[in-house]
Chains A and B, each alone.
Chain A
Amino acid sequence: MLTDARVLELVRAERRDEAIALLLPAFRRKVFGLAYSFLRDREAAEDVTQEVFIKVWRALPGFDGRASLSTWIYAIARNASLSALRARRSHSSLSDSEVMDAVEAIDPAPSADAIVDRAALLRLVDQLPTKQRQVIMLFYMEEQSHEGVANMLAMPVGTVKTLLHRARTRMSAAAGK
């Protein structure tokens, strides 16, 4: 079972590979989701996720356990995502082909109707301000946990709730047009 103490124990015993093997199933999807919420590009998000785990592997001997492992890993993931975002040319919204790619990336075999619905929904999400968009993506990826999203984005739970409410209201209004 994954606990911070168990990971620290493995690191002290110079068994970093085992520590990573323990961390990977617990954090892979969350780190990928966090990177995807910044980058909105599946390949770039996967690359960042790989970089994050390599950075974690390298930095594990220096992890002192003062912060929790999840807080530490999410901080590395946020920094890596922001660096990747700065490195690539920023674009304000997704093109049609990018929307289709993104829908296929999320679900590789959707029905034709689902493609249309999801593409429309993804466009609505894409038009949200950055923080609202990130909260929406992570909230529905994280099985609707406000605390989980707050931890990933390093913001108070109240802020997550406010951003989520604003995003939902905005999306409902846009969908009703």
Chain B
Amino acid sequence: MTTPDSELDKHLQALFGGLDTGADFDARLMARLRAESQIDATERAMRARQQERARYRRALMELQSWRRSMLRLLTLDTLGIALLLVVAVVTAWPHLSRDVMDISRQYGPYIATLLGVLIAAVPLLGMWAEQTRRPIRLL
């Protein structure tokens, strides 16, 4: 014997039990996903290009700012120190003993090279000092 509830169940089961998408649903979806996949790959390539361009711009700007700071240090600090060194050497030169003159003649190229290296290192030392300088703290 069937109760009214089981009759209702049967009818509702018949009504909604077969609810499903159309037959071509999977094929349509897979076609859309293939299209999405292509768009996705294009977008990814475009994003990678943009990132690379931004990275190059950043690197270029960093290089330019480093060049600028080098030039600034060369004009102010290095020239002053080089001038002071030249003045010191010219002043001390006549007072040096013959031995010292002999040594300087013998090791002249080495001394010149050493001086060149020191002068070249001045801007770098200046930059290092600028970077490591801490802000002034009150109290």
Residues on A lying within 8 angstroms of B by beta carbon are 17, 20-21, 24, 28-29, 32-33, 36, 46, 49-50, 53-54, 57-58, 106-107, 114, 117-118, 121-122, 125, 136-137, 140-141, 143-144, 168, 171-172, 175
Contact = CB atoms under 8 A, between A and B. Distances in A.
Nearest to A175: B8
Given A28-B26, A57-B36, A36 B8 contact: no
B129 interface: no
B16 A137 contact: yes
B8 A24 contact: no
Interface in B1-52: 4-5, 8-9, 11-22, 25-26, 28-30, 32-33, 36-37, 40
Interface of B: 4-5, 8-9, 11-22, 25-26, 28-30, 32-33, 36-37, 40
Given A28-B20, A49-B21, A137-B16, 12 more contacts: A36-B19, A50-B29, A54-B32, A54-B36, A57-B36, A106-B16, A107-B15, A118-B11, A125-B12, A125-B15, A136-B12, A141-B16
Contacts of A106: 15-16, 18-19
Main secondary structure on B side of the interface with A:
helix
Contacts of B20: 28-29, 32
A122 B15 contact: yes
Contacts of B17: 140-141, 143
A175 to B, nearest CB: 7
Contacts of A118: 11, 14-15
A140 B16 contact: yes
Given A17-B37, A32-B20, A140-B16, A121 B29 contact: no
Contact of B26 (A24, A58, A122, A175): A24
